């Protein structure tokens, strides 16, 4: 289970808890250490939802042969939620729905490799919206409004990852909403 297994990263000692699909790394005596079973249960439920949404066949043996995703649960807030190598780093405030978004990235990367940002960020946003409403998200109203005003960026202009992030940094339109709408359309 966990308790006597340690891992060293960033000159820290980490406790480890392993589940079917994840290896959690957390600091001893942290809030995460006290709640690791609850965190692990929630993440495994989200994993199942993400896999269902991706239509991964049930016969696939996910969780064996190295599919496990490393999750580092940091106590400092500066380690924002991000996919790093074969895992996900979460800073102290990054829990719950933000974890779902980042987990989507890690799972997509494990299954398919590096996906274009339009799909990758859109899929993460789509799953967060799905969890809030229990209904598949529709095309976002602000995206429809921008489309009606002819202010919407074309998919062609943001399909490449660099172009997506350039548009995000220019903040013309929320490209996460465009990505979510694109995934809803798919």
Gap between the terminal Cα atoms of the chain: 40
Note whether 28 and 75 are within 8 A (CB).
Answer: no
Residue 92 pLDDT > 90: no
Residue 1 pLDDT > 50: no
pLDDT in tens, 34-73: 889 998 898 888 888 888 888 887 655 555 455 788 888 8
Q: What average pLDDT does the segment 80-106 reach?
A: 67
Residue 4 pLDDT > 50: no
Mean pLDDT computed over every residue of the chain: 78
Strand 6-9 relative to strand 12-18, pairing: antiparallel
| pTM for this entry | 0.78
**Among residues 157, 155, 128, which one has the least CA distance to residue 143?**
155
Question: Between 97-112 and 117-133, two packed helices, what is the crossing angle to 10 degrees?
Answer: 140
Given pLDDT bands bounded at 50, 70 and 90, which one contains residue 7? low
Residue 85 pLDDT > 60: no
Given pLDDT bands bounded at 50, 70 and 90, which one contains residue 2? very low
pLDDT in tens, 100-124: 888 888 888 888 788 899 999 999 9
Given pLDDT bands bounded at 50, 70 and 90, which one contains residue 3? very low
> Quick one: tokens of 80?
């924002």
């Amino acid at each position: 289970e966990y308790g006597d297994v340690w891992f060293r990263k960033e000159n820290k000692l980490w406790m480890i808890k392993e589940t079917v699909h994840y290896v959690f790394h957390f600091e001893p005596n942290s809030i995460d250490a006290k709640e690791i079973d609850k965190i692990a249960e929630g993440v495994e439920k989200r994993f199942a939802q993400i896999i269902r949404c991706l239509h991964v066949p049930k016969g696939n043996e996910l969780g064996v042969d190295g599919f496990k995703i490393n999750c580092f649960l940091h106590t400092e807030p500066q380690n924002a939620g991000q996919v790093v190598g074969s895992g996900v780093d979460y800073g102290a405030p990054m829990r719950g729905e933000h974890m779902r978004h980042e987990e989507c990235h890690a799972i997509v990367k494990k299954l398919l490799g590096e996906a274009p940002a339009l799909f990758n960020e859109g899929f993460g946003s789509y799953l967060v919206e799905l969890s809030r409403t229990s209904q598949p998200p529709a095309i976002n109203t602000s995206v429809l409004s921008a489309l009606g005003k002819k202010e919407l960026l074309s998919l062609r202009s943001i399909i490449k990852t660099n172009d997506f992030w350039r548009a995000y940094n220019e903040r013309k339109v929320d490209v996460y909403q465009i990505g979510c709408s694109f995934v809803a359309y798919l």
